[in-house]
């Protein structure tokens, strides 16, 4: 169930969402999603959560590694793509696609050993609510990895096109996010680094066992 107050503009109906179909080549599989899954390191039998899963690029990689993955995605077109993709995937029994948002996750408390999000933080309208949800759904000892590309870094190849995009979305301030997560009782840290050849902002956290 997607809370009305958290409806994203990607979720204003099928017509508004159809433009995402033009992004299939961009979203289907990316080196960055491979790197995010490497960082999150989902292991066989673990329960994973892909927040803002899009077309499931990271979801399928994690499921192929043997993890059980819930792909949470508010956009109907993205979910449809993710479901079609799931059907064609050998790991489909380990993939569930759910409507939902970071601020209101459709999974039980303590049900997630590993959570990740790629290029999604700047979409979340309420970071405090999202981080409270992450602290709720992580199991004791569970971990999370959040990665957003840093288009404001002049070394990003798409800097000219996308610099300043967070001004229209939600700012991704690593220091503030780490502090907010620590306020939720998580052990959190983060940095600016390069991943898959591009500058990124990374936030990592664990729920104390």
Site residues, ligand SAM (CB under 6 A): 6, 8, 10, 27, 33, 51-54, 57, 73-75, 78, 101-103, 118-120, 123-125
Q: Which is nearer to ligand SAM, 6 or 134 (CB)?
A: 6
- Residue whose CB is nearest to ligand SAM in the complex, by number: 54
Which residue from 136, 142, 102, 137 is spatially nearest to 122, judged by alpha carbons? 102
Q: Which is nearer to ligand SAM, 65 or 123 (CB)?
A: 123
Kindly state the smallest distance separating residue 141's Cβ from ligand SAM, in Å: 24
Q: Which is nearer to ligand SAM, 121 or 178 (CB)?
A: 121
Kindly state the smallest distance separating residue 63's Cβ from ligand SAM, in Å: 15
Rounded to whole angstroms, how far apart are CA atoms 102 and 89?
A: 25
Q: Which is nearer to ligand SAM, 157 or 208 (CB)?
A: 157
Q: Which is nearer to ligand SAM, 127 or 143 (CB)?
A: 127
Rounded to whole angstroms, how far apart are CA atoms 101 and 82?
A: 15
Which residue from 176, 168, 173, 171 is spatially nearest to 192, judged by alpha carbons? 173
Kindly state the smallest distance separating residue 62's Cβ from ligand SAM, in Å: 12
Rounded to whole angstroms, how far apart are CA atoms 54 and 17?
A: 12
Rounded to whole angstroms, how far apart are CA atoms 133 and 15?
A: 30
Kindly state the smallest distance separating residue 71's Cβ from ligand SAM, in Å: 9
Q: Which is nearer to ligand SAM, 97 or 141 (CB)?
A: 97
Kindly state the smallest distance separating residue 190's Cβ from ligand SAM, in Å: 18
Helical H runs in the chain? 14-17, 24-27, 31-40, 57-64, 76-87, 127-137, 159-162, 174-183
Which residue from 184, 182, 183, 204 is spatially nearest to 193, judged by alpha carbons? 204
Kindly state the smallest distance separating residue 162's Cβ from ligand SAM, in Å: 11
**Residue 197 burial (CB < 10 Å; 0-12/13-18/19+)?**
exposed
């Amino acid at each position: 169930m997607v809370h009305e107050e958290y409806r994203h503009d990607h979720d204003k109906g099928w017509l508004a969402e159809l433009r995402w179909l033009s992004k299939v080549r961009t979203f289907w599989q990316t080196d960055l999603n491979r790197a995010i899954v490497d960082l999150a390191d989902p292991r066989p039998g673990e329960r994973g959560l892909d927040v803002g899963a899009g077309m499931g690029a990271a979801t399928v990689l994690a499921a192929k590694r043997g993890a059980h993955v819930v792909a949470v995605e508010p956009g109907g077109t993205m979910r449809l793509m993710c479901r079609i993709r799931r059907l064609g995937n050998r790991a489909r029994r380990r993939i569930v696609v759910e409507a939902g948002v970071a601020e209101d996750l459709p999974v039980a408390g303590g049900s997630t050993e590993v959570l990740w999000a790629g290029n999604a933080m700047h979409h979340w309208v309420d970071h405090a609510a999202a981080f409270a949800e992450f602290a709720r759904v992580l199991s004791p000892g569970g971990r999370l990895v959040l990665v957003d590309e840093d288009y404001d870094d002049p070394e990003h190849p798409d800097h000219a096109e996308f610099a300043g995009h967070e001004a229209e979305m939600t700012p991704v301030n690593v220091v503030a996010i780490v502090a907010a997560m620590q306020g939720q009782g998580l052990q959190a840290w983060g940095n600016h680094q390069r991943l898959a050849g591009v500058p990124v902002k990374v936030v990592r956290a664990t729920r104390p066992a």
